[in-house]
Amino acid sequence: MTFSGPPGTPGSRGVHPAWLPDEAFRPIGSRRTLLCGGGPLAGTVHEEVASACARYGGSVRRRAAGPDEAPEAVPDDGPEAGPDDGADDGGPYDLVLALTTAGPLPAVAETALAGFRRGPAPGGGPAVGPDIGPDIGPDIGTDIGPDIGTAGGDEGIGDEGYVVARHDGVTVVLADSTTGLLYGLFHLVRLGEEAFGAARPAEHHRPAARLRMLDHWDNVDVHPVMGQVERGYAGGSIFWRDGALRDDLTRVRAYGRLLAACGVNAVTVNNVNVHATETRLLTDRLRDVAAIADRLRPYGVRVHLSVNFAAPVALGGTATADPLDEDVRTWWAAVTARVYETIPDFGGYVVKADSEGQPGPHAYGRDHADGANLLAEALAPFGGVVHWRAFVYNHRQDWRDRSTDRARAAYDHFTPLDGRFRDNVILQVKHGPIDFQVREPVSPVIAAMPRTRVAVELQVTQEYTGQQRHVCYLAPMWSEVLGFRPWGPAGPGVAHVVAGDVADGAAGGGLVGVSNVGDDPYWTGHPLAQANLYAFGRLAWAPSSDPAAILDEWIGLTFPAAGGNDATGGDDGRLREALHEIMDDSCGTYERYTVPLGVGFMVRPGHHYGPDVDGYEYTPWGTYHFADRDGVGVDRTRATGTGFTGQYPPPWSEVYESLARCPDELLLFFHHVPYGHVLHDGTTVIQHIYDTHFAGVEEVDRARLRWAELAGLVPDAPHARVRELFAEQLRCAEEWRDQVNAYFLRKSGVPDARGRRIP
Ligand code: GCV
């Protein structure tokens, strides 16, 4: 079932185990487990434990289903299966995994349940319950595990939640659903030996966001320009190859397993740019989608599909795709009913409409609410949702026109529609107003749609952050986005909006990431880019988690040589320490050697890798920096610029408007300033550009040398892969430094105060 092999190396099928190496299951696999309860995912839990026991000598016994489920005849497993304990007997088990519906429960499980229902002891005990603490904020470092909140009471454990406790030498995981049980099992994997150590009172875990989805920009046909995976940097697609579904989908199941282990519960299997072949996934190629759904279902991951808004026309059913046309509505209703006949747990549609050439409702004089509601109506009877993307702007802008501002576009298009979307429409908003740059303000749309379900979209694939050739751990950036409080320090944060935890707000739309996975043996091209995928899932589950703690958890799982997540043994912490040094602030390093002070782009047009300061300056894409001999930056103020600052509520509308108060890192996003403008730290803009570019390259070189020291601690194959990639990262960082510094030296004529060589 698993891709086994020596820890840290590609396994027997040549695929790296990522954060689920066999070794991570040793603590569970070497113990005696009782599993109480039946149902589809209980089978997965059983299989996971049994396979670990087969490897490490433990045992698992499965007590059949609860009263309202069909009993399953499951034999004892493992060489030393313990005796089946009675209903009121804890039995000689080290671990009990039980559904609350599987009663009567063993005594230890009943005790844990009672502990959960009682809640925390007055004045003590862990806080158990919701997942985003009231104190979420980028300024607040919280330990991992703040997905535990106030204890139980009457609410129940919840759909995907679980309770973990340990007493009388037995560890107990309880859940209301088999999905919760699976998540609970992976929680134990993360804890490692610690799960079987000291007693622990009942802790309740449940995800902040109900929808935690990865969008694959995978094409079925190889696109002549974008290839098999648009903006993919990890080889081909794990789903599709040369126009067809892959013959062997073993890897899709392994992917589902990795996703469940970090908390992701939905996947979109094709690109939001839906071309001709991909349009047919909805109808005559639906079986392909169903085959993927079959592989992901055992891990609680539902499948969604990107659809072409003009599908009724493209597939020949109707003369128009007008959302208000009766034939079009009937067509979508019939097609959607067939989708659910084939895939009963289908998640829904994702739509990129009227954006970068994709068809949409505008062609018929209709708006985005008309378009989204059409699909929502078809999905509603089956409980499906539409993710409607807010990435809508004019990509044919005249660069001479200084009044049009791409940053404004999503807000201008969508805020007038707030309140018009059906309940099962989720507006999917990129985290920044432009396009996944390494530094952007948070999109004002997120705070401007109180009557609409909003999802925030992050880019796990590193289109603008080094394309998986550079180390760039993105969790600190995402954490800042999730912790941003659009209404000021006393108001809720972005994480609360996506979780639906805002007074008088709509239900949350969850978190979406553009996947960085391909058919590469390491899944993500750069082995260290696996941490981004892992962190995406963990932040979607618990947005206030500390990025460094998530990284630490990932290191412990991925590199058993680092001593696991509980041990201080292994290599005495050398690997762990080095990886933190290399990765913790790698996103900051990337920012330093690339684009300064939030100005954005400056990448090579088309493929978006490497520097080209004026690459987009005279194009129709709306991504300009306006550098001239006197200064640089985009004036987005209300006073003299495009007025974008006015799209934020106070205090940010005032903070960003003010040259004096605007945070330095976003200065050039909001203001056009002379090169001599003095930043809050006393440096001029031009000197800041020079200093950060020199510093960024030095940091890459230090990280490269640090990695080289890890030979022998990291298995040879990934060590060699990362070593090669560091050589490329350093080359590219030097190119960025020299082009950006030379460009601004030539424009401004201001020499580097420290006299360093600028070509
Ligand atoms: C899938 C950017 C990318 C495109 C991507 C688009 C989007 O423009 O460069 O490749 O298209 O975003 O998010 O739709």
- Return the beta strands (E) in 463-572 as ranges: 511-514
Our CA angle for 489, 495, 500, nearest 5°, is 110
Which of 215, 216, 217, 229 should be mutated for ligand 1, with most atoms under 8 A from CB? Answer: 217
| Whole-number pLDDT of residue 86 | 39
Among 185, 38, 161, which residue's Cα sits nearest to residue 99? 38
Nearest-angstrom CA–CA distance, 263 and 541: 6
Q: Quick one: how far is CA 432 from the chain centroid?
A: 15
| Whole-number pLDDT of residue 11 | 60
Decide: 230 in ligand 1 pocket, CB within 6 A: yes
| Whole-number pLDDT of residue 278 | 98
Whether the Cβ atoms of residue 519 and residue 251 lie closer than 8 Å to each other: yes
- Which residues, 6+ apart, have CB-to-CB distance to 398 below 8 Å? 404, 620
pLDDT in tens, 369-415: 999 999 999 999 999 999 999 999 999 999 999 889 999 999 999 99
Is residue 4 pLDDT above 60, yes or no? Answer: no
Neighbours of 104 (CB within 10 A): 13
pLDDT in tens, 611-650: 999 999 999 999 999 999 999 999 999 999 999 999 999 9
Confidence of residue 12 (pLDDT cuts 50, 70, 90): low
What sign results for the dihedral spanned by CA atoms 615, 465, 494, 597?
negative
Only one residue has tokens 């708006």, namely: 367
Exposure b/e, 680-718, CB count within 10 A at least 16 = b? eeebbbbbbbbbbbbebbebbeebbeebeebeebbbebb
Whether the Cβ atoms of residue 626 and residue 633 lie closer than 8 Å to each other: yes
Element (H, E) at 279: helix 276-279
Decide: 352 in ligand 1 pocket, CB within 6 A: yes
Whether the Cβ atoms of residue 700 and residue 730 lie closer than 8 Å to each other: yes
Decide: 217 in ligand 1 pocket, CB within 6 A: yes
Q: Which amino acid is at 431?
A: H
Give me the phi and psi of 329, to 5 degrees please.
-60, -45
Give yes or no: 356 in active site. yes
| Whole-number pLDDT of residue 545 | 97
Is residue 258 pLDDT above 60, yes or no? Answer: yes
Omega into 104 within 30° of 0, i.e. cis? yes
- Which residues, 6+ apart, have CB-to-CB distance to 328 below 8 Å? 312, 318, 320, 321, 322, 374
Q: Which two tokens stand for residue 277?
A: 């072949």
Confidence of residue 678 (pLDDT cuts 50, 70, 90): very high
pTM above 0.75, yes or no: yes
DSSP-assigned states of every residue in 566-617: T-S-TTTTHHHHHHHHHHTTHHHHHHHHS--TT----BPTTT--SB-TTTTT
Decide: 272 in ligand 1 pocket, CB within 6 A: yes
> Of the residues 435, 553, 591, 699, which is catalytic?
435
What pairing do the DSSP bridges indicate for beta strands 170-175 and 95-99?
parallel
Q: Which two tokens stand for residue 145?
A: 């595990």
> Of the residues 94, 160, 278, 463, which is catalytic?
463
Is residue 79 pLDDT above 90, yes or no? Answer: no
Which of 271, 273, 397 should be mutated for ligand 1, with most atoms under 8 A from CB? Answer: 273
